[in-house]
Structure 1
């Protein structure tokens, strides 16, 4: 078995599996109506064994990883919303803002049914308990997972009072600026306009191809970290809902997925979350250790009991005398002065030491230190 694309390149593993499941559905549907299952029936054991060998070979040539739609990062979402490309003060910005909101809050699948939307597809309501406005889809659609029954899954876009980014505010402004003679929801923005104009859009709808490249064009224009596709908005919405601790059944009610297994594709873990998990493991398995010293900071020499010190720097002499009473029991004097170069110092009951030209290694910088008299009395 050697199934390849027109250009001779290999299909990916998930593509081959999709083709096999497609053939199985095709044979079971009219006009064939076959009763057997080419995937599960024992009569097809040999063919399925061959198919598994092809999958193994496909993985060997590097076609095994499934490329999921990337989730839009939080910095990119912030950058997008605060850019001129989603500004409601221009026709193009208002068009982009409303379309991005609709795709996000209703978890739209790529370009599905976007081209056929009209001004009546959505309607703004007022919540009885809170008094907040919210937008809801009121027209049923035929989708990938809903081709017969009345559509039962859809999201709600709530109002954010007092915010210039409020999606309901943007939608109501968008509807008020559309051309009255065109019933389509996505209309072409005017290139030149005046703020006070009642109409900001042409009497023409946006083409399907233009809608299909919506987010990829904005990604380039806004300078985002990567080029996203329309389906990335759906993936981002599902991922945010999952991380917000909503259950699978609740998320399916908004996104329209057929099963929990389909939803699991979007339950991804970010690098920041993995870093937090790694830190948690570190805290629980590694023993507690004292902090390492900062090698960039100079060592501080303990002050001796009685010290008269003259520091000469740039032809200026400063004299400082410190008298401190310390308990010197069990102190090794050589270790106390191990940063100085000079003769060995010994400690007795009463000691007077005269030292000259002792150079500290790290206590002072760009100066010479002379210790004239050091007197230590041990109690």
Structure 2
């Protein structure tokens, strides 16, 4: 993600569009080419919370399985501003992008003007009166990851998977992740849940402490003698404070 972000030039129409595309798909866990292609600028609203912090809210596209084929405001993900990022703040880049869209075209993802930076007029649209093709939208992340020199070639769905996996790794409840991802049940999220190597290491250490707690007691006595000989040698054995209360794992 760092490589991709660093490869984007926000002073160009395509670079700005790609940055907003990454933000939208990540913060709102969008899925499907049709839903992305059907987005309009009017589907997004900039609001302010009680602390005065701005955020972007997106209206949700109901699928054919819903009772009404309309658009409603989603009780889902929000994209809050991050002033410390300067021009790369997601709300700032979103605002700039919308201001540069061609007013004659209603679609969110328009074709960037193929001109040099010098030819771009700051007070005129940066995009043509034409929407991006569905294949261009569908291959966005594939092309971005290849251009940035990533080791793997990613797809748009990888952004959705990254969002869900990140929220799961941070410990958010399944019901809260569902409110962002739109999944109907917690079972649908299971294949996104992956235990990291760091967590597996902590789990292994917890089990080892349980299995070898008695051995640790004997080793602790020997350790006291060793410490008298060399105070510089680090201890490699940690005993529980008590037999029934393992320490909290520290990542």
Range of TM-score over shorter length: 0.7 to 0.9
Q: Which residue of structure 2 aligns with residue 168 of structure 1?
A: 91
Taking the TM superposition and a 5 Å limit, the aligned residue runs for 1:104-143 are: 104-127=26-49, 129-138=50-59, 140-143=60-63
Q: Which residue of structure 1 aligns with residue 113 of structure 2?
A: 190
- How well do the aligned residues superpose, as a CA RMSD in angstroms? 2.3
Q: Secondary structure at the match of 1:87?
A: coil
Q: Distance in 1 between matches of 2:203 and 2:75?
A: 34
In the TM superposition, residue 279 of structure 1 has moved relative to its aligned partner by: 4.1
Q: Which residue of structure 1 aligns with residue 66 of structure 2?
A: 147
Q: Distance in 1 between matches of 2:138 and 2:198?
A: 31
Q: Distance in 1 between matches of 2:38 and 2:145?
A: 24
**TM-score when scaled to structure 2?**
0.75
Q: Distance in 2 between matches of 1:282 and 1:111?
A: 48
Task: Return closer, same or farther for 1:221/1:276 CA change in 2, 3 Å cut-off.
Answer: farther
In the TM superposition, residue 153 of structure 1 has moved relative to its aligned partner by: 4.4
Q: Note the alpha carbon deviations across 1:44-78, whole angstroms, 9 max, x for none.
A: xxxxxxxxxxxxxxxxxxxxxxxxxxxxxxxxx22
Q: Which residue of structure 1 aligns with residue 157 of structure 2?
A: 231
Taking the TM superposition and a 5 Å limit, the aligned residue runs for 1:293-372 are: none
Task: Return closer, same or farther for 1:117/1:251 CA change in 2, 3 Å cut-off.
Answer: same
Contact 1:153/1:255, CA 8 A, preserved across alignment: no
Task: Return closer, same or farther for 1:168/1:275 CA change in 2, 3 Å cut-off.
Answer: same
User: Does 1:82 pair with 2:6?
Assistant: yes
Q: Distance in 2 between matches of 1:218 and 1:283?
A: 46
Q: Distance in 2 between matches of 1:191 and 1:238?
A: 35
Task: Return closer, same or farther for 1:197/1:135 CA change in 2, 3 Å cut-off.
Answer: same
Taking the TM superposition and a 5 Å limit, the aligned residue runs for 1:278-297 are: 278-285=204-211, 287=215
Rg larger in structure = 1
Give the unaligned 5+ runs of structure 1. 1-76, 292-379
Q: Distance in 1 between matches of 2:171 and 2:21?
A: 26
Q: Distance in 2 between matches of 1:143 and 1:87?
A: 35
Contact 1:216/1:228, CA 8 A, preserved across alignment: yes
In the TM superposition, residue 284 of structure 1 has moved relative to its aligned partner by: 4.7
Q: Distance in 2 between matches of 1:224 and 1:275?
A: 27
**TM-score when scaled to structure 1?**
0.51
Q: Secondary structure at the match of 1:96?
A: helix
**Matching residue within 179, 190, 209 for 2:102:** 179
Q: Which residue of structure 2 aligns with residue 275 of structure 1?
A: 201
Considering fraction of residues, name the structure with more helix. Answer: 2
Contact 1:110/1:234, CA 8 A, preserved across alignment: no
Structure with more relative contact order (C-alpha pairs < 8 Å, separation 6 or more)? 2
Task: Return closer, same or farther for 1:78/1:284 CA change in 2, 3 Å cut-off.
Answer: farther
Task: Return closer, same or farther for 1:93/1:279 CA change in 2, 3 Å cut-off.
Answer: farther
In the TM superposition, residue 236 of structure 1 has moved relative to its aligned partner by: 0.8
Contact 1:153/1:252, CA 8 A, preserved across alignment: no
In the TM superposition, residue 277 of structure 1 has moved relative to its aligned partner by: 3.0
